[in-house]
């Protein structure tokens, strides 16, 4: 019996019950859709004496967020790339891009509500007259949103941001629908949730390693540094899996995307075997991948990866629609990162170094108070 089939051991190490959170992923998607549906978008919003926001069809979209709170925007951007008539950008900075103005729709996304980069972006967006929507469970972002009276999606509390993906993704889609940016095919959303339910039965702790893809992936990665290669709609998914290995498994990881990696990353694999053999490459595959991408993946695998990497693993997406295929790969990777933590005997929940960094940064800067003062200057 694999050590990942010892349910008592899993429960003992997973003290915060992350496996249970992962199992509720499909239901969280349904709840997130409903929360987005219930959001009211005003036609006009007055802020103080001088600022006024007019809601309508935007010219561009900026999703402000960091870490797990930004991944929803990244996946949304990849998914809608072929159908969205306007550009979507994910902003992981303190200030918005120069083009952001009153025709920009700005999503301020912070699960905790206390992410200083996102709050800074919100205040910047207020001053530029952007259309504003905030997504959070609590914190300063909720405080600022209530004072501004901007549309606010209230999320359930006490979830680690990286496990709140459905709530950081589906409400954004619902807002785009309300503003007439896209008209999503609901069959696609429904299929995605159904596929997630099927995969849950296959990757949950009770499912034995012999037929559990996530457990098998964790065992293959153990003792190495995982590199995830995606393409197209799997760019944000590859980044998501990479960060899940970082935060859940507490290990280094990286990600890249085809075809770009063929113009730089591939040369790094010509280095000494004593270095390259420490890496396990996870290739995200799709039976519907275009012929040119398929050729690049196969040639890269044959000429370089199979000769130089410690292991090469392929994960195939499932489902007919793009959304189902993207989320299917993500779900397998999410669970694999939790199982890898179990293999290392590490509780996947705590992220102590990030917490310590935030505490230390707070000692050195009073940015939240400065942002509160900037906001006050517009509300008085």
247 an active-site residue? yes
Residue with tokens 């995606």: 230
**What is the Cα 176 distance to its own chain's centre?**
18
What CA dihedral angle connects 181, 232, 271 and 244, to 10 degrees?
A: 60
The two three-digit tokens of residue 109, written as one number = 């996304």
Which residue of the set 116, 191, 247, 289 is catalytic?
Answer: 247
- Of the candidates 158, 192, 137, 210, the residue with the CA atom closest to the CA atom of residue 20: 158
**What is the Cα 30 distance to its own chain's centre?**
17
- Of the candidates 174, 35, 189, the residue with the CA atom closest to the CA atom of residue 107: 174
Indicate the pairing of strand 51-54 with strand 44-47.
Answer: antiparallel
Task: Decide if 35 contacts 153 (C-beta within 8 A).
Answer: yes
Which residue of the set 46, 57, 358, 362 is catalytic?
Answer: 358
- Of the candidates 117, 120, 122, 63, the residue with the CA atom closest to the CA atom of residue 87: 63
CA atoms within 13 A on the CB side of 85: 11
> Which residues 6+ apart lie within 8 Å of 46 measured at CB?
52, 53
> Given its phi and psi angles, is residue 17 left (phi above 0), alpha (psi -120 to 50 degrees) or beta?
left
289 an active-site residue? no
Helices 213-221 & 322-343 angle (0-180, nearest 10): 50
What is the C-alpha separation between 320 and 318, in angstroms, rounded? 7
What is the C-alpha separation between 316 and 324, in angstroms, rounded? 12
Residue 2 burial (CB count, 10 A):
15
Which residue of the set 40, 50, 158, 263 is catalytic?
Answer: 263
Give catalytic residue positions.
247, 263, 358
């Amino acid at each position: 019996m694999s050590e990942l089939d010892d349910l008592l051991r899993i429960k003992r190490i997973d003290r915060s019950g992350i496996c249970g959170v992962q199992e509720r992923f499909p239901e969280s998607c349904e709840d997130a859709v409903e929360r987005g549906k219930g959001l009211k978008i005003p036609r006009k919003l007055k802020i103080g004496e001088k600022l006024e926001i007019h809601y309508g069809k935007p010219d561009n979209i900026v999703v402000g967020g960091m870490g797990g709170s930004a991944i929803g925007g990244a996946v949304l951007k990849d998914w809608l790339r072929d159908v969205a008539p306007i550009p979507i950008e994910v902003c992981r900075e303190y200030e918005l891009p120069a083009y952001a103005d009153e025709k920009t729709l700005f999503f301020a996304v912070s699960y905790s509500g206390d992410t200083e980069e996102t709050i800074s972006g919100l205040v910047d967006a207020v001053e530029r007259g952007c259309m504003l929507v905030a997504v959070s469970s609590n914190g300063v972002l909720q405080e600022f949103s209530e004072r501004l009276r901007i549309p606010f999606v209230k999320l359930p509390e006490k979830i680690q941001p990286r496990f709140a993906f459905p709530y950081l993704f589906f409400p954004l889609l619902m807002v785009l629908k309300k503003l007439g940016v896209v008209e999503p095919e609901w069959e696609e959303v429904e299929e995605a949730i159904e596929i997630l339910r099927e995969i849950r039965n296959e990757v949950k702790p009770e499912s034995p390693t012999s037929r559990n893809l996530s457990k098998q992936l964790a065992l293959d990665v153990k003792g190495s540094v995982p590199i995830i290669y995606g393409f197209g709609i799997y760019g944000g998914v590859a980044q998501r899996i990479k960060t899940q290995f970082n935060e859940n498994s507490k290990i280094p990881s990286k990600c890249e995307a085809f075809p770009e990696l063929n113009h730089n990353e591939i040369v790094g694999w010509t280095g000494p075997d004593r270095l390259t053999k420490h890496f396990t490459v996870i290739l995200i595959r799709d039976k519907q991948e275009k012929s040119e991408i398929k050729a690049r993946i196969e040639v890269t695998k044959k000429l370089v990866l199979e000769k130089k990497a410690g292991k090469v693993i392929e994960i195939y997406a499932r489902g007919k629609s793009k959304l189902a295929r993207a989320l299917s790969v993500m779900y397998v990777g999410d669970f694999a990162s939790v199982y890898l933590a179990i293999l290392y005997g590490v509780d996947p929940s705590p992220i102590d170094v990030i917490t310590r960094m935030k505490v230390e940064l707070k000692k050195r800067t009073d940015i939240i108070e400065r942002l509160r003062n900037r906001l006050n200057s517009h509300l008085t």
